[in-house]
Amino acid sequence: MKNFMPSIMVMMIYLIGTLILFLLLFNFTSVYVFFLYIGKAMVIYIVCCCFGYGSVYGVTKIIDKTQECRRKRFMWYYNMGLIESVLFSEPKYAKNYSKHYWMRLFK
């Protein structure tokens, strides 16, 4: 968990900076749109990084290196599926995407 704290801080600074930029350049409605779409994707990405990669790394410390690589690859695909589903507003896509890679990597 400690390894991900600096990247979360950088992400938060980036989000705050972008919000200030939106406030300076545009009106309130565009800030609302920013939080509705980009903000939601960023939050899910941060949560995936913390809980996804963190827990996978914790589990695979016990297991051999090849299994660790497979699990990390699975989490990467799963996170990408989640982020894409948020950006393109297709909630079913993430579930199918992760299920497909779960079957392929852990058969």
Q: Which tokens in the block code for residue 35? A: 């939080």
Domain ranges of the chain: 2-105
Q: Tell me whether residue 85 is exposed, middle or buried, using C-beta atoms within 10 angstroms of its C-beta: 0 to 12, 13 to 18, 19 or more.
A: buried
C-alpha to C-alpha distance for 94 and 15, rounded to whole angstroms: 24
Integer-rounded Cα Rg, in Å, for the chain is 17
The pLDDT tens digits along the chain (107 residues) read: 455 555 666 667 666 766 666 555 555 555 555 556 555 555 655 555 555 544 444 444 444 455 555 556 556 655 555 544 444 444 444 455 555 554 555 54
